Structure 1
Amino acid sequence: MLGTTNLTSGEDFDKLPDTHVIFILEYDLKNQGLPAYQVKRTFLEDNSDFDDGTRFIFVNGTYRGSDPIGELMNDFNAEGAEP
C-alpha cells in the first residue's frame, strides 16, 4: 500500500515521492539479452500512461555486460558468492 502514509484523501499522485521496485531475477525475463526491463503502468482502455511515480525494474540475472549491471550480476554469480 504505497502512498497510504504519504497522502491524505483527495491529494494528487504527484505529491508522492517516486518509488522504484527492483527485482533481481535468476533468468532473462523476456529473453532479449538486455540488462534490465522497466515496466510502466497504463490504462487499458486507451493505452495512456498512468504516471504515479512507481517504476518496476526487472534485472536480468544472466546478464554479464561490461556496464555496472553486468559487473554486479557477475559478482552476484561469482564462485564463492553467498546466496
Structure 2
Amino acid sequence: MSNNTMLFGMYRMGYHGRATVHGFRGVASTWLNEAGYSADWIERQLAHDERNEVRGAYNSAQYLAGRRAMMAAWSEQISNFAAAVDQTQG
C-alpha cells in the first residue's frame, strides 16, 4: 500500500490538514511501547528495518502471532478512544 493511499484515505475521513499518517503511526508506536509490547513486534509492524546490520542479516522473524494479538489490542484501544469521544459529543 502506498503512502498516498493512506493519505487520501485520511482526507476522505475528514482529517485533511488536521493529522498525518506519520502522526498516527507515532501514536500507535507510543501506545504499544507504553503497553509493554515487544519492540521487535512494533518495529516489524511499522515496517522498520533492523538497525543492527548483523542481526538484520540473520533474523527473518515476522512475529506474526504476537503482532496479531498486539494489533487486536490496538484496535480495541482505538474503539475505546472513539467511544469516549462519542460520549463527550453526545
| Fold shared, TM-score > 0.5 on shorter chain | no
Greater relative contact order, per chain length (Cα 8 Å cut-off, separation 6+):
1
* TM-score, normalised with respect to structure 1: 0.23
* TM-score, normalised with respect to structure 2: 0.22
Whose Rg is larger? 1
Question: Per residue, is there more strand in 1 or in 2?
Answer: 1
